[in-house]
Amino acid sequence: MITENFEGKLLTPIPKQTVNLKLLKEDIEGIISFTQLIESLNLEQKLLFDVSEDYRRNFLKKTDLWFKNIPHSVREKYAVGELLDVVNQEVDDLEMAPRHGDFAPWHLFKLKDGQLGLIDGEHAMTCGVRNYDIAYFVQRVFCVLKNQNLALKILDILSCRNYNIKNLKTILAARAIGGFLDEYLAPKPDYFFATKFKRWVGNL
């Protein structure tokens, strides 16, 4: 276990109610750069979730597990299989890079020196999929913080930074499947934003 004491504020608290997104909105560029820093790390030691070097197979296996854990009735009603088709068709173009794995707004701190701190790295991998963290972040902003405009702004910045939008779409499609599973597991499932996010990803 690695422990660190961060003296600062969470960019946003765990979203149990409407939250102030001021800090989050102010640091979008820094957040994107943080994910790039993680992907640039030269990590020789394998981490907990590095079960094999076949990162594409691992990505597909995890996505397929999410899909299978969604009840058939939900998959049929919301055509979740369309998302899985996107992942299966485009996965071969994905590249390998380290990832944090749970890069959510409520795991980021704004430190007193202006830098960002990051917690909850138990899902970190050296053999992850490039751009997974920022795609995960976008999906959380859209579906959990329920802020489509901010998600669109982040995607615009990524486009200006010459990110491969096609590859991002593949990862976002997988995250959309995860979003439907999240809702199914919620005490009171509400598929409104999961459906809205699915539609948005389909139009990329």
| pLDDT tens digits, one per residue of 143-160 | 999 999 999 999 999 999
Specify if 4 maps to a domain: no
How many domains are contained in the chain?
Answer: 1
Specify if 9 maps to a domain: no
In the chain, what percentage of residues exceed pLDDT 90?
A: 73
Tell me, what CATH number does 86's domain have? 3.90.1200.10
| pLDDT tens digits, one per residue of 160-200 | 999 999 999 999 999 999 999 999 999 999 999 999 999 99
**CA dihedral for 169, 171, 176, 177, sign (positive or negative):** positive
Residue 49 has pLDDT above 90, yes or no: no
Q: At what angle do helices 148-160 and 28-40 cross, to 10 degrees?
A: 60
Specify if 56 maps to a domain: yes
Q: Give the range of the structural domain holding residue 166, as residue numbers without chain letter.
A: 19-202
3-class DSSP assignment, residue 27:
coil
Model pTM? Answer: 0.93
Specify if 97 maps to a domain: yes
Mean pLDDT of 56-60: 94
pLDDT at 4: 64
Specify if 100 maps to a domain: yes
